[in-house]
Structure 1
Amino acid sequence: MLYAGAMPELFFSAHSARIDRERVHHWLSDLSYWARGRARAVQDAAMNGSRNYGVYDDIGTQVGYARVVTDGATFAWLCDVFVDPDHRGEGVGKLLVAGVVADLEPLHLERTVLATGDAHGLYTQFGFAVIEHPEMWMARAG
């Protein structure tokens, strides 16, 4: 576990069993701009196939979430990063991304990517940068 600041008011966990799936589904399906309307069954399937991370307050309430899709050897995609609106500006995002990066470090992945419409400043603190040759990347919408 990683802690924010000198006092353990917030803590990071990489244990999927701790994730409050109902809370995360609410955040993503009701409050996010990228997963609005996502069905609970779809969210659960995504979580089941991913590495899941959370940040929790001093009484154990989840205040942040992220997941990573990875082959565990060469590539990872950081996605569904969300901080509870009531806890934004408290360092939750920094603790969350720091914990994810630390958890993935031993895998020695060649590339970890993400797509975001905001918070670029947060991610650059942890080594993320604009893709050097975006014209090489393609996507197929489902």
Structure 2
Amino acid sequence: MDFFDKKHAGYFISTDPGKLDRDLIHRFLSKDSYWAEGTTIKEVGDTMEGSLCYGVYFGEQQIGFASVETDYSSYAYLTDIFIVETFRGQGLSQWLIETILAHPDLQELDSWMLITEDAHTLYEKFGFKAVPGSPGLMERLKSRQ
């Protein structure tokens, strides 16, 4: 699979695993996230090896991350999405989600899922809906015509 890159106003998003800053990802997830507090560097490495990962960069500095666990044919689970605090409020999370959903290898998926406690409004912009009876769980289903 080819790497998928998007550029905008000094920022870029890439799926090139060689660009990912494992230490930054581990530090954010283990210390600054509510969903992966205490995660180990090995767990971060396992996620990076088993998922389609996106890095968000300002110049050469990584400032964000997202991971997509998928079978490339029917489903995707979006996880570990973040933008470091000093770069928030600039629409980068929205751009990251747009970029993920535009990936050419993910266009035929029937369903996307994610869990969030605090970003429902962001994901609703992209067609995600809360799953009744499952707090925080959101899904985006492909329309059938």
Q: TM-score, normalised by structure 2?
A: 0.83
Which residue identity lines up with residue 9 of structure 1 in the other structure?
A: G
1:16 aligns with 2:17: yes
**Number of residue equivalences:** 132
Aligned match of 1:52: 53
Higher relative contact order (CA 8 A, sep 6+): 1
Aligned match of 2:44: 43
Distance 1:104 1:123, change over 3 A: farther
Structure 2 Cα separation of the partners of residues 114 and 12 of structure 1: 20
Distance 1:35 1:101, change over 3 A: same
Q: Structure 2 regions of 5+ residues with no counterpart?
A: 138-145
The structure where strand makes up a greater share of residues is: 2
Residue 106 of structure 1 and its aligned partner are, at CA, apart by 4.3
Q: What SS class does the counterpart of residue 54 from structure 1 fall into?
A: strand
Distance 1:94 1:105, change over 3 A: farther
- Counterpart contact for 1:2–1:95, Cα < 8 Å: no
Which residue identity lines up with residue 116 of structure 2 in the other structure?
A: T
> Over the residues paired in the alignment, what is the CA RMSD in angstroms?
2.0
Identity of aligned residues (%): 34
Distance 1:88 1:48, change over 3 A: same
Residue 3 of structure 1 and its aligned partner are, at CA, apart by 2.9
Aligned match of 1:103: 103
Distance 1:71 1:106, change over 3 A: closer
Q: Structure 1 regions of 5+ residues with no counterpart?
A: 138-142
- Counterpart contact for 2:64–2:82, Cα < 8 Å: yes
Residue 54 of structure 1 and its aligned partner are, at CA, apart by 1.2
Aligned match of 1:93: 93
| Off by >3 Å, runs of 4+ in structure 1 | 104-107
Residue deviations 1:22-41, cap 9 Å, x none? 10110101100010000111
Q: TM-score, normalised by structure 1?
A: 0.84
Residue 96 of structure 1 and its aligned partner are, at CA, apart by 1.1
- Counterpart contact for 1:63–1:92, Cα < 8 Å: no
Residue 133 of structure 1 and its aligned partner are, at CA, apart by 7.3
Match among 3, 6, 23 for residue 2 of structure 1: 6
